[in-house]
Amino acid sequence: MESTYGNRLHKVLVPSIEELYEAVETTLERGGNIVIPTFALERAQEILYYLREGIEKKQLRHYMSVFLDSPLAISATEIFKHHPECFDNEALQIFKDRDPFGLPALKFTRETAQSMAINNIKGGAVIMAGSGMCTGGRVRHHLKYNLGNKRNTVIFVGYAVKGTLARKIIDGAQRVRIFGDEIPVNAQIYTIGGGSAHADATELLAWHKRAGNPARTILVHGDEEAMKVFAGKLKNTQVIMPSLHKIVEL
């Protein structure tokens, strides 16, 4: 089983959304751009949904151009729109009344030239692009053009593994290397964890208790510290934490 958040609990969702709105509003007030490194499936759609909600409820008052700059995320968003029959009753009601992702100035940028043109915008843009950990994808270009300006903001809304560009920025790096260039980190940095799709420590424990008293539990997908803390919480099972290249027979 995964152990990403095996050593901590998530923030409550509502304060996390409010923090997102605050970060967006204060950046727009000072004339900057917002870059949100975004995973293509679910996370991108959640952020679009919360931005639309914020505008509709007047919690986001400043005009913004929102760019979903990820061909994969665009395709996933269109699939969400075309298959409302897959959602529960609450989500179906939202689909009936309105387009859940229907932002006033939302632009889908599939083509490379469209993506490059975004970097000419000096303020008022919310740029969502992959990858979420900034290990590849178009977001690296947007970080290169936006990280150095103190008017801008980067909002991380997902987990970042040690060693990734996202984690270096989150951990307070003053400069980072992107495409061979040293880029100063002058932009405001936010880390908003309440919307994570990964279970936290309490949820992981609850899941394990319902797994049928396994003789062995193999922990993966987590930093070493998180794995060790979570392993200490597991009872009546042999805990295995495979290291790189270790073979475990199932």
Mean pLDDT to the nearest integer, 210-237:
94
Q: Beta-carbon neighbour count of residue 57 at 10 Å?
A: 9
In 192-237, DSSP assigns E strands to 216-218
Confidence (pLDDT) at 56: 92
In a domain, 53, yes or no: yes
User: Between helices 43-56 and 13-29, what is the axis angle to 10°?
Assistant: 70
pLDDT surpasses 90 at 93: no
In a domain, 245, yes or no: no
Mean pLDDT to the nearest integer, 99-127:
95
For residues 238 and 116, what is the distance between their CA atoms, to the nearest angstrom? 51
In a domain, 239, yes or no: no
Confidence of residue 102 (pLDDT cuts 50, 70, 90): confident
Which of 3-7, 42-46, 98-102, 148-152 has the lowest average pLDDT? Answer: 98-102
In a domain, 231, yes or no: no
Confidence (pLDDT) at 195: 64
In a domain, 156, yes or no: yes
In a domain, 217, yes or no: no
Confidence (pLDDT) at 98: 79
Q: Residue 108 contacts by C-beta under 8 Å, 6 or more apart in sequence?
A: 68, 74, 77
Q: What is the pTM of this model?
A: 0.87
In a domain, 54, yes or no: yes
Confidence (pLDDT) at 51: 96
Paired sense of beta strands 65-68 and 34-37, if any: unpaired
> What is the tally of structural domains in the chain?
1
Residue 186: give its domain's CATH number.
Answer: 3.40.50.10890
Residue ranges making up the domain that contains 105: 13-191
Confidence (pLDDT) at 64: 96
pLDDT surpasses 80 at 97: no
Confidence (pLDDT) at 14: 86
In a domain, 144, yes or no: yes
Mean pLDDT to the nearest integer, 48-59:
94
For residues 158 and 162, what is the distance between their CA atoms, to the nearest angstrom? 13
Confidence (pLDDT) at 234: 96
Q: Average pLDDT of the chain?
A: 93
Which of 16-20, 126-130, 172-176, 189-193 has the lowest average pLDDT? Answer: 189-193
Q: Residue 232 contacts by C-beta under 8 Å, 6 or more apart in sequence?
A: none
pLDDT surpasses 70 at 243: yes
